[in-house]
Amino acid sequence: MMSPFFLSILVSSVLGLGLAIPSYTCIVMGNLDIIRKKGKLSPTDVIFLAKGIVNLLLQCLLSLQGMFLALFLKTFYIKQVFVFMNRSIYFLTYYNFWLTFWLSAHYCTTITNLSYGFFIWVKRIVSNFLSHLLFLTALGVFIVSVPGVLAFHAESIQSSVNSTNVSAIGLDKVFSYHVPATTVGIILPFCLSLLCLVLTSSFLLRHVWRVKNNDSGSTRPNLQAHVTALRTIFFLLLIFTFFCGYQVMIFVPSSSLSIVFGNLQLFSPSVEAAVIFQASNKLRRIILRRFWTRSWRNTET
């Protein structure tokens, strides 16, 4: 009989995949529809399209890994399967975190209009060279993370078969391979995204305070788009935190929190789809229009 742990992993894998496929299909198709009508995408739409493709692939791999772990444990620990899946998952995860940073940087430089040279430079490259920037980011993440993760798992696979926790591998191996990749793929983009969130929040708070205390009688501007941007960064960083929590819980033997965070990690790509939908009015309008048209045609027939 399947244990509760493996049963929860299986259920989370199936549900996550069932939610991700239609959600990200709508996101990708919606952005392609924008390209067809307007000929190009805005920087936020480009990042949303990249996130849609990356998160769809990530959710498929995470769900497949969970199904292997729950149903075909021996297949899961075949060296080639184990190394390939983990290498791909780490690369997609790290790249997704860097996409979050570039989205945060775009919101920050657009909303705050800071005059410092660094922010002007970031705003210029995000506006004019975003596609090249995303490609170089993917290449850099691949070069930094994948070889280390590959070597780490190749040396630790035998230990993982005999133990459910990474601590059996030895701290020297963890620090040699895992920590540098984690620093580049998780800690650095998280800190940069958090900095963007703090700068954007402080700028908007000061702006609202100035307008509120303005004696000229000026009306308060509509900040709904800026609030949506802040909410988007906050939710993406919250998903970030759950992933980091799972990485920490791996080192805690027999922890129930590791099971909780592990199941939350399986849902994280699907949850990001909801964050993207709430951040993009264009995607919501396109999807609602398509569903409304289909419903109207079905009613007519």
**pLDDT (0 to 100) of residue 299:** 53
Query: Helix H segments across 129-223?
Result: 130-162, 171-173, 179-182, 188-212
List the domains of the chain with CATH numbers. Answer: 4-300 (1.20.1070.10)
Cβ atoms of 208 and 223 within 8 Å: the answer is yes
pLDDT band for 173, please (50, 70, 90 cuts): low
Q: Within 10 A of 107 (CB to CB), how many other CB atoms are there?
A: 26
Query: What's this model's pTM, rounded to 2 decimal places?
Result: 0.82
Packing angle of the helix pair 256-279, 281-300 (nearest 10 deg): 80
pLDDT score for 271 = 87
Over range 239-258, report the average pLDDT: 67
Q: What is the pLDDT of residue 103?
A: 93
Torsion of the alpha carbons at 79, 91, 258 and 267, rounded to the nearest 10: -110
Average pLDDT over residues 99-110: 90
pLDDT 10s digits, 181-240: 778 888 899 999 999 899 888 888 887 787 777 655 455 556 788 888 889 999 998 888
Distance (Å, whole) CA 264 – CA 262: 5
Percent of the chain with pLDDT over 90: 13
**Measured at the alpha carbon of residue 138, what is the angle toward residues 170 and 41, in degrees to the nearest 5?**
145
Share of the chain above pLDDT 70, in %: 72
Pick the residue with more confidence: 179 or 296? 179
pLDDT at 158: 47
Q: How confident is the model at residue 102 (pLDDT cuts 50, 70, 90)?
A: very high
Amino acid at 100: T
Q: Which two tokens stand for residue 224?
A: 């709904």
Confidence of residue 164 (pLDDT cuts 50, 70, 90): very low
Whether the CB-CB separation of 166 and 156 falls below 8 Å is answered with yes
197 CB neighbour count, 10 Å cutoff? 20
Residue 113 DSSP one-character state: -
H or E element: which one contains 32? Answer: helix 4-38
**pLDDT number for residue 182:** 79
Rounded distance between C-alpha atoms, residue 37 and residue 31, angstroms: 10
Instruction: Say which residue, 299 or 214, is predicted with more confidence.
Output: 214
